[in-house]
Amino acid sequence: MAGPRITVVGASLAGLRTAEALRTALPQAQLTLIGDEPHAPYNRPPLSKDVMESFAGGDADETEAFGKLLLRSKLTPEDVSTRLGVAATGIEKAGVRLADGSLVRSDWVIAATGIRPRRLPLPGNEDIRHVLRGFDDARALAPMLQPGARLAVIGAGFIGCEIAATARKLGLHVTIVEPGPQPMMRALGPRVAAAMATLHRRHGVTLLTGRSVEAYQPGRVILDNGKEIEADVIVEALGSLPNTEWLTGSGADLSDGVLVDDTMRAIGAPNLLAVGDIARFANPLFDDVPRRVEHWCIPGFTAKRAAQTIAALEAGDTPEPGFSPLPSFWSDQYGMRVQAFGAPALAETQTVVEGDLSQIGEAPVIVEYARNGALTGVIGLGAPPALIAKHRARLMAALTPKETV
Amino acid sequence: MKVHVNMDICLLHGQCVIAAPEIFSFDDNGDLHWVEVIDDSQVADAEAASDACPEQAIILG
Ligand SMILES: Cc1cc2nc3c(=O)[nH]c(=O)nc-3n(C[C@H](O)[C@H](O)[C@H](O)COP(=O)(O)OP(=O)(O)OC[C@H]3O[C@@H](n4cnc5c(N)ncnc54)[C@H](O)[C@@H]3O)c2cc1C
Ligand code: SF4
């Protein structure tokens, strides 16, 4: 008997990992993977870090660089039928509608369409304005990052800060404009964010916080206080928008990504699941508020969970309740690794438990994050892995009991 | 199954140590160590570690 027809939309980390997990959990399933990019699934984090550096520095040719980014997979063309370079435009009772008009008949649909960068709704400077999400964005930006060029980064989140650090290494003049009081403030909290601001300034970045962009003029960024920044290249790194337009009318709650339950099933659309950056789910390690989590580790966790869910339902079973993965993320800036576990963003207090924030970038620092006196996260700044592992264990011990409540 | 880590590309994220602590570990100097030959009962853990490695540095064969 033929197995269920399962269509995974979005051929990146989450989509690929889901197809792999489905192949293992449901060997009979007929799998289709659809992606709008022309590229096979690849890894994004290096695009703002080492790959951007070697690209811009001219020491890597594109094919070679892309080869290193490609995600390794055991899947063969017999395992999954992959259609690249074609977007899903809608979801219907019978399946997924594609941009070329065809319909992929599906019993289950898995949304893995991720996010796209938000852009400033301002005209001007189109020829020098960039964003960074995909390989093609990186390919367009890299040749602009020439030594001596003036780069304006709008938005001091992780991607903006990583580009700034990479550009400094390449010898550009870098200005960051950030509306908030500190860079990466939401993710790192005020004290660590302030230390990161010092690190950027120490490396020669002009960091303008509490400032927003009022207008673009040719080769210039005009700020809300009237200040003008001259720029040869501009990168807008202002956060993201979930790619959910194709799910309009599916019944799912699309207010911020796709709201899913603890089995990755969309609430309101029983045969739709969501994984990766667009999935909005509650994590009982912390509380019952559903959130999207834009970290590299989430696609792996949610992919396995989604495959288990479909396998259980296809077998007539109820999926096991409970889903509480430990989030983690990292960032590399000026050769310093920021490594986080848990949800530092939820904390209201930060305690330096090893090292000293004034020594950031020079000596290891470990910071614990707590809410209502309970640990929610830990961050290591330039800390050796063994030291971080020790503190991660402490965090795990603090988080585990809540899981059973 | 054989386990190998390409130390030219490993950036010491330690995700493997979390995913499969019985196979991967850090010593006190922060150097990564791993069990080079694993038995069938550990294959799933090794694959989970390989998937969790952001640098794709773990080679199973
Ligand atoms: C430059 C950069 C640096 C990063 N660095 C780090 C880091 O250091 N640490 C960390 O933890 N995380 C990092 N991340 C985040 C991490 O890469 C993401 O969490 C991860 O890529 C999410 O995977 P995903 O598959 O859910 O979404 P995505 O990777 O966004 O994939 C979604 C895919 O779906 C496609 N798609 C969208 N709409 C459609 C449609 N209608 N039809 C068909 N296909 C569609 C998209 O084109 C894309 O290929 C970084 C991200 C970027 C961009
Ligand atoms: S997860 Fe990968 S990069 Fe990190 S320590 Fe293990 S092998 Fe090295």
Mean pLDDT of chain B: 91
User: A299-328 pLDDT, tens per residue?
Assistant: 999 999 999 999 999 999 999 999 999 999
Q: Quick check: CB of B32 below 6 Å from ligand 2?
A: yes
The DSSP 8-state label assigned to residue A278 in this structure reads: G
pLDDT of residue A401: 47
Return the percentage of chain A with pLDDT > 70, whole number: 98
**Do A119-238 and A5-38+85-116+241-314 have the same topology in CATH?**
yes
Q: Which chain B residues touch A389 with a CB distance below 8 Å?
A: 14, 17-18, 26
Extents of the domains making up chain B: 3-60
Cross-chain residue pair A330–B13, CB shorter than 8 Å: yes
**pLDDT level of residue A403 (50, 70, 90 thresholds):** very low
C-alpha of residue B14 to centroid of ligand 2, in Å = 5
User: A20-62 pLDDT, tens per residue?
Assistant: 999 999 999 999 999 999 999 999 999 999 888 888 877 677 8
Q: Are B57 and B6 in contact (CB under 8 A)?
A: yes
Tell me the CATH number of domain A5-38+85-116+241-314, given options 3.50.50.60, 3.40.50.300, 3.90.1150.10, 3.10.520.10: 3.50.50.60
| Angle subtended by helix axes A158-169 and A185-202, to nearest 10 | 20
Cross-chain residue pair A385–B28, CB shorter than 8 Å: no
Q: Angle at Cα A301 formed by Cα A300 and Cα A302, nearest 5°?
A: 95
Q: Which chain B residues touch A330 with a CB distance below 8 Å?
A: 13, 54
Q: Quick check: CB of A32 below 6 Å from ligand 1?
A: no
Residue type, A183: P
pTM to 2 decimal places = 0.95
* CATH C-level class of A335-399: alpha beta
Q: Which chain B residues touch A71 with a CB distance below 8 Å?
A: 56
Position B21 pLDDT exceeds 70: yes
Cross-chain residue pair A297–B27, CB shorter than 8 Å: no
CATH 3.30.70.260 is held by the domain A119-238: no
CATH number of B3-60: 3.30.70.20
Residue type, A376: T
Chain center to CA of A4: 30
Mutation probe of ligand 1 site: the residue of A16, A53, A296 with most atoms within 8 A of C-beta: A296
pLDDT of residue A404: 44
